Amino acid sequence: MKVYRRIGWLCLGLALASQAEAAVKNVRVVWEANPSSEAIIGFSRSGSAASSGQYVKYGSSTTESSWQNSGTAIKRTFKSSLDNYFVRLTGLSANTEYYFRACDSTGCTEPYFFRTAPSAPQGLTFIAGGDSRTNRSQRQQGNRLVQKVRPHFVMFSGDYTDNHSASEMDTWLTDWLLTYTPTTINGVAYKQAYPLIPTVGNHEASDMNFMCSVFGVDADRNGSCSLRDSYYALNVGNLLRIYTLNTEFGSAQANDRTAQRNWLNGDLPANGSSAQWRLAQYHKPMFPRSSSKPAVHQIALDWAQVFYDYRMNLVNESDTHIAKYTKPVRPNGSDYQEVSAGTVYIGEGAWGAPVRTADRSSPWIVDQGSFAHLNVIQATTSNIDIRTVYLSSEPNTSTLSKASRDADPLALPSGWSLWDSAAVGNVFSLKRAANNLTELNESTSVPGQTISLSATRDVTVASSGTLQNGNTVLADGDDAGKQLRALLGWGLTSVPAGATVQSASIKLNVVDPSSGSYNLHAMNSSWSETAASYAQTSGGTLIGSVVPSSNGSASITLNAAGVAMVQGWLNGSMVNHGVVLSSGGSSNGVDFSSRESGNGAQLLLNFTVPTLR
Amino acid sequence: MPTHCGPFSFTAMPLHKPLTRIVILHWLALPLLLASLASGLRIHISSRLDDLFPGVAHWLPQGDVYGLHLLLACAWLALACAYGTHLWLNRAARPYSAAGRMAPYNRGLIQALRWLLLALLLLGLAIYLAGSAAAGGWLLWAHRWLAFTLLACFILHMVMQAGWTPWNQLRAIVLPRLTWQACIVTLLAALGISTATWLMRPIWQQATTTVLPVSSIALSETITVDGASTEAAWQHAAARTVDTLGVGREQAAIPVTVQALRQGEVMYFRFSWPDPTPSLQHLPLIKTSTGWQIKQRGLNQHDETLYYEDKLAIMFARDAAAAGSGSMQLGQQPVHQAPPHATGRGYHAAQRGGLIDVWHWKAVRTHGFNQLDDSHFGSPYPVVPGDTRYTAGYKSDPLQAGGYTENWAWPGEGNIRPKRLPRDPALLDRFQEAKADDPGVYWGMSWYESIPYDNKDDHYPVGTVMPSVLWKTVFEGDRGDVQAAAQWQQGRWTLEAARGIQSASAFDLDLVDGLYLWVAVFDHAQIRHSYHLRPLRLRFD
């Protein structure tokens, strides 16, 4: 009996030991090649804790007793102090969840899981972004957004930290854990990790071997870290072939720069057609959109022709900290030329780095803006849809459940704020052209088929009955006992006949912001700047809302009812009585420019006219 | 009635040929001697940084004085040849005196002057060929003191001759009765000597320049720029040691060993020099009872020599002219309409619109960037109002972003206000007990690890020391073109650097066969660097 009791205690001890806290942390999953069957699991030594015998326990079911141990992890040290360990899992099954813990001789981490890439061309939802270096809270906001989207993978286009020190990178890896979605499966709390495809940014130029020493990339499979590990390509099934390139090869790396160009010039013709779409990511844009940057980055521009020649469809750039969409383009000397089918470039990285002014204009730009964001991209065999998400909308974004993602690879969360790009609205939709290059998906986005209408009438009406028609229009829930509402109206005669409104928004130039929420309603009766009553401003359909929290442009995207209202105005099925902006309860008023000031409210319409195409 | 070229007509003795030659030689020697002494004195003052001749410095030549001194040396060589010819032509005659009579003891003085001039020429030649640090600096020391002795002898010679028969002596040498033919011969001789000297200069320079062989290695070989030099290629690369000589009264010699390799489109360099103590402080800040102050001893004169990091400068130029391709502009105010130099030593500037590529490794400020500070010497730039320091033609290459900055808005002797404080006060712990030469403590803080200065965050006790270097990020732009890393081990710094053979920057030179290279060591000094006159020449094997 004593023997059995001792054995029981021993088993319990061993069981507890296996769950004891490991001296390792910051687990990450990295894709470098063959993501249907391979993944790199990386983790770091925890602080100054002693750690030995690092490995990964993993399996394709949640039954942990069936998991197998990997071989001993490879140790690589970043900047002499950040010890990292890597295990390359091979022979995995496609489109399969793998559950794992990172372990050392003292115990294991909490359990995680990730999904391998599908081998069949199924739809994919993934994230592209970069530049997370200085504003840590914004970086964390972006990471939590990843968590809520449950993407298949993340393309990160460089500039992780500011000074690329070991302590900064350690912090970044800790923050990266925020991208993992807590998921309970069979009563066990897991975290779903999303494979990362890393890129070198200029802030990593002091040690570009971090691709290997921090993320475990060993592109040339030679078992050691070198600059060759900073550019590579992988296929996500046969849907995508993703190229990761290094723009940071300077003068001292001229040989590596030439080798990379030769590799790209050889790989794209040889392997580019192995997938239906070809994507690329790198750090410095060919033509940065801010005048605070050089007009051209030659190292990237050197790739433009081979991109075009071998059907590169979509390129994610970074570095400038702005948002942009280009039209399909081809290289034309030291510039782009808009073409019906070409390469589309998006970017330019604002995942926590300070945004710059997007002040360079080019005819091949669809739209550009200055705000923190990341891009949620959805690819199918026929289309690529891009949504640029404001990081600031993360708190309002719902978390997609595992069941939703499992059921629909293209499912998306709700509640987020999307960039209302001037020419294409919330979704930048692309399709593959007959020649396998990219063209705009004209059913939903037709550059040039947008119009911006200036307000033709606006007035402030107070609950006391007075009207105010000066250089500003006001709305307020309590202005010395009065309520103020802003009436706005536009003429639509310049919209082509037969236009079908795809999206609509209203832009205000705020001159006195408010922390409160303001609602936009349809007006149901006629009014003019000299004849309007407070009573007639109530009862209309809610068509949008806004928190005008800062001076400058504030955009209100009209909801479906709002779009229908505008369509009704155009069709003649509804009378165009304009709209009214009123407080949602706040007594903190908002002032914005009136038409009399020359910068009145704008109604932006995105529409299609079938007869034009 | 003969025609005379002198301003007066004398009826002194007719000048026959040997005497004519003596007079011509005196005419040529006198300005050469004065110019050589003046330029030599300027070099002496600039390199020793002392004030032995406070009243004289203002009158000495400024600018490319090294170039002038070497030009004069060449003229002396030509003159010595002419004098030798005179002696050979006049070998059968008894010695002449210009005035026919010789003052007592003066013949001995003349002999002394001859030997002194010969010794100075030979020493100068030796210094030119072997470097100013040759023989531990003793050659330079001997050259300097023999020049002072020559000056003394020359003055004594003039005084004695003038004192013996004053008017005749002066008239015979300064206002001789020469024929037009003699005048023309004199002028042609002077012109010929100058022209020959000028034309032969590049030939001399190239022929006598030490070659640095640059062998090619295969693209498959890996060279890691880390200062460790563990790669086999470095073991086989040819090495040349340049003896540089420090400035100041000590003038210690610092030998710098240089190696170079080329691999495809890239050149690698390795520099190694002795330094018993790595200096990794850079003007640290100290909290006093009245506020933060800069620990410094000469910063206000831009001449800090104690609380400063170690540095190495490497210069590349297409022209082999001595002293950094003629870029050393000595004197208090060698640049027209520029402010006087704080120490009177002078500025750096390229000549005649040229460009000298300068790589400036800084042990602390560029630490962690894996880069050095890519700079250049160009034409002197205009004075910018408000500049804390005017540096004439020395400028960093253009910078887009990144780099480092000082942790003060404006330097000064009294209290300064730091720009930033550490985000975590514990970051300063390692500096409190660190010694200035602790090889493991680099006196800098990451900008990211710091926060804007605010009085409410400044709870540091009096006596707290804090780095003044704020590292932002790597240099972006032309300034970051050169990859570099250094290590200090066992009393030596080893710096490795790499750059593309061709450069897209307008402020860089292509690293091609035949390019000239100089080095200068800054041993915990802001501007006082060791130097050598003549470069190494890259030769692609």
The lowest-confidence range among A87-91, A609-613, B75-79, B145-149 is A609-613
Comparing A41-55, A74-88, A293-307, A308-322, the range with the smallest average pLDDT is: A41-55
CB contact under 8 A, A161 and B481: no
**Is the Cβ–Cβ distance between B540 and B262 less than 8 Å?**
yes
Interface membership of A258 toward B (CB under 8 Å): yes
Residue of chain B nearest A169, judged by CA positions: B448
Q: How far is A58 from chain B (nearest CA, A)?
A: 36
Higher pLDDT, B1 or B365: B365
For A271-311, what is each residue's pLDDT tens digit?
A: 999 999 999 999 999 999 998 888 999 999 999 999 999 99
pLDDT of res. B221? 92
CA atoms of B364 and A596, how far apart (whole Å)? 59
Cβ neighbours for B503, distance < 8 A, ≥ 6 positions apart? A251, B481, B509, B510, B511
- The yes-or-no verdict on residue A214 having pLDDT over 90 is yes
Among A164, A206, A255, beta carbon nearest to B264 = A255
Chain A residues within 8 A of B505 when measuring between CB atoms: 251
Contact: A205, B370; criterion CB under 8 Å: yes
Mean pLDDT of B295-312: 88
Q: pLDDT of B180-213, one tens digit each?
A: 776 677 677 777 877 777 777 778 777 889 999 9
The single residue listed with the structure tokens 């002797």 is: B413
Q: Give B498's contacts in chain A (Cβ within 8 Å).
A: 252
Q: What is the pLDDT of residue B175?
A: 64
Cross-chain residue pair A298–B504, CB shorter than 8 Å: yes
| Partners of residue B481 in chain A, C-beta under 8 Å | 250-252
Average pLDDT, chain A: 90
Residue of A161, A203, A206, A208 to mutate, interface with B, max B Cβ within 10 Å:
A206
* Tokens describing residue A37: 């069957």
User: Measured between beta carbons, which residues in chain A are less than 8 angstroms from residue B448?
Assistant: 133-134, 161-163, 165, 168
* 3 state SS for B268-313: EEEEEEECCCCCCCCCCEEECCCCEEECCCCHHHCCCCCCCCCEEE
The yes-or-no verdict on residue A193 having pLDDT over 60 is yes
- Cβ contacts of B447 on chain A, cutoff 8 Å: 162-163
Residues B356-383 have pLDDT tens digits of 999 999 999 999 899 999 999 999 988 8
Q: Does A252 touch chain B (CB under 8 A)?
A: yes
Question: Does residue B471 surpass a pLDDT of 50?
Answer: yes
Burial class (CB in 10 A: 0-12, 13-18, 19+), B456: exposed
Q: In the prediction, which pLDDT does B71 show?
A: 84
Whether B447 shows a pLDDT value over 50: the answer reads yes
Of A55, A56, A41, A38, the residue nearest A93 (C-alpha): A38
- pTM, two decimals, is 0.78
Tell me the one-letter amino acid at B496. Answer: E
Report the 3 state secondary structure along B67-116. Answer: HHHHHHHHHHHHHHHHHHHHHHHCCCCCCCCCCCCCCCCHHHHHHHHHHH
What are the tokens at A119? 């081998």
Residue A12 predicted with pLDDT over 60:
no
Contact A372, A304 (CB under 8 A): no
**pLDDT at position A360:** 87
Higher pLDDT among residues B507 and B25, named by residue = B507
Nearest chain A residue (CA) to B398:
A294
Q: How far apart are CA A79 and CA B510, in angstroms?
A: 32
Q: Which residues pair with A500 in a beta bridge?
A: A608
Counting runs of H as helices and runs of E as strands, what totals does chain A give? 9, 39
Q: Can you give the three-state secondary structure of B390-402, one letter per residue?
A: CCCCEEECCCCEC
Residues of A with Cβ-Cβ distance to B480 under 8 angstroms: 205, 250
What is the band of A113 on the pLDDT scale with cuts at 50, 70, 90? Answer: very high
Is ipTM over 0.85?
Answer: no
Residue pLDDT, tens place only, B41-88: 888 888 766 666 667 778 888 898 988 898 888 888 888 888 888 778
Rounded to the nearest angstrom, the minimum Cα separation between A163 and chain B is: 5
Query: Residue A577: pLDDT above 50?
Result: yes
Q: Which of A166, A165, A233, A236 is nearest to A199 (CA)?
A: A233
Tens digit of pLDDT for each residue in A504-561? 889 888 888 888 889 999 999 999 999 999 999 988 999 988 888 877 778 888 888 8
CB contact A134 to B (< 8 Å): yes
Does residue A317 sit at the B interface (CB-CB below 8 Å)? no
Contact A207 B471 (CB under 8 A): no
Residue B144 has pLDDT above 60, yes or no: yes
Average pLDDT for chain B: 85
- In A, minimum Cα distance to B218 occurs at A255
**Gap from B514 CA to chain A (nearest CA, Å):** 20
Tokens of B58: 């203002």
- In a 10 Å sphere around its CB, with 0-12 CB exposed, 13-18 middle and 19+ buried, how is residue A254 labelled? buried
Supply the pLDDT for residue A288.
Answer: 95
**Chain B residues near residue A254 by CB distance under 8 angstroms:** 264-266, 500-502
Tokens of B386: 């408000």
For residues A145-178, one letter each, b for 16 or more C-beta atoms within 10 angstroms of the residue's C-beta and e for the rest, the string is bbbbbbbbbbbbbbbbbbbbbbbbbbbbbebbbb
Would the CB atoms of A167 and B498 count as touching at under 8 Å? no
The mean per-residue pLDDT over the stretch B481-493 comes to: 95
CA distance B221 to chain A (A): 12
pLDDT higher for B492 or B196? B492
Mean pLDDT over A332-358 rounds to: 93
**Structure confidence at residue B28 (pLDDT):** 81
Closest residue to A252, CB basis, from B471, B476, B499: B499
Which phi and psi angles does A343 have, rounded to 5°?
-100, 135
Tell me, what's the pLDDT at B70? Answer: 86
Q: Do B400 and A298 touch (CB under 8 A)?
A: no
Mean pLDDT over A22-29 rounds to 91
The residue with greater pLDDT, A610 or A143, is A143
Q: What is the pLDDT of residues B383-396, one digit of tens each?
A: 887 777 888 999 99
Partner-chain residue, chosen from A161, A203, A251, that has the shortest CB–CB distance to B500: A251
Selecting from B266, B447, B481 the residue whose C-beta is nearest the C-beta of A163 gives B447
Cβ proximity of A220 and A212 under 8 Å: no
Which pLDDT score is estimated for A102? Answer: 96
- Provide, rounded to the nearest whole percent, the portion of chain A with pLDDT above 90: 70
Residue B418: per-residue pLDDT = 94
- Residue of A162, A205, A253 with shortest CB distance to B447: A162
Q: Look at A206 and B474 and tell me if their CB atoms are within 8 Å.
A: yes
Least confident of A365-369, A458-462, B131-135, B266-270: B131-135
pLDDT in tens, B411-437: 777 889 999 999 999 999 999 988 877
- Residue B448 and residue A161: Cβ atoms within 8 Å? yes
The minimal CB distance from B473 to the residues A162, A207, A293 is found for: A162
Taking contacts as CB-CB distances below 8 angstroms, the residues of chain A near B472 are 162-163
Q: Across the strands, what pairs with B192?
A: none
Q: Please give the average per-residue pLDDT across A111-118, as a whole number.
A: 97
**pLDDT on residue B248:** 73
Predicted confidence at residue B101, as pLDDT, reads 56
- Range scoring the smallest mean pLDDT among A162-171, A248-257, B241-250: B241-250
Among chain B residues, CA nearest to A207: B370
Q: Do B476 and A202 touch (CB under 8 A)?
A: yes
- pLDDT score, position B159: 81
If you count residue pairs, one on A and one on B, with CB atoms under 8 Å apart, how many are there? Answer: 78
Q: Do B448 and A205 touch (CB under 8 A)?
A: no
Listed range (B37-46, B233-242, B282-291, B506-515) with the worst mean pLDDT: B37-46
Check residue A209 and give its pLDDT: 96
Write out chain B residues lying below 8 Å of A168, CB-based. Answer: 446, 448
The length of chain A is 613
The per-residue pLDDT for A317 is 97
Mean pLDDT along residues A139-148: 97
Average pLDDT over residues A70-99: 96
Vertex A218 angle, CA A217 and A219, to 5°: 100
Chain B residues near residue A255 by CB distance under 8 angstroms:
219, 263-266
Q: Are A80 and A212 in contact (CB under 8 A)?
A: no
A14 has a pLDDT exceeding 60: no
pLDDT for residue B99: 46
Residue B230's Cβ-count burial label (10 Å; 0-12, 13-18, 19+) is exposed
pLDDT value, residue A266: 97
Instruction: Encode pLDDT of B434-444 as tens digits.
Output: 887 788 899 99
Taking residue A183's Cβ as centre, other Cβ atoms within 10 Å add up to 17
Using the beta-carbon criterion (under 8 Å), do A203 and B473 form an inter-chain contact? yes
Query: Residue A611: what pLDDT?
Result: 38
User: Quick one: closest CA in B to A252, which residue?
Assistant: B499
Average pLDDT over residues A127-139: 94
> Quick one: pLDDT at residue B249?
67
CA neighbor of A527 nearest in space, from A583, A469, A480: A469
Q: Comparing A191-200, A577-586, B182-191, B473-482, which segment has the lowest mean pLDDT?
A: B182-191
pLDDT in tens, A251-261: 999 999 999 99
Contact check, Cβ <8 Å, A258/B370: no
Q: Does the distance separating the beta carbons of B265 and A258 come in below 8 Å?
A: yes
Asked if A207 reaches chain B (Cβ–Cβ under 8 Å), the answer is: yes
By a Cβ cutoff of 8 Å, what residues of chain B touch chain A?
Answer: 219, 222, 225, 263-266, 368-371, 400, 446-449, 471-474, 476, 480-483, 498-505
pLDDT exceeds 90 at position A465: no
Assess whether pLDDT exceeds 50 at residue A71.
Answer: yes
Helix, strand, coil shares of chain B, percent, nearest 5, are 35, 25, 45
Give the model's pLDDT for residue B169: 64
Distance of residue B286 Cα from the nearest chain A Cα, in angstroms: 25
Average pLDDT, integer, range A382-397: 93
Written as one letter, the residue type at A150 is R
Average pLDDT rounded to a whole number, residues A95-123: 94
- Beta-carbon neighbour count of residue B106 at 10 Å? 20
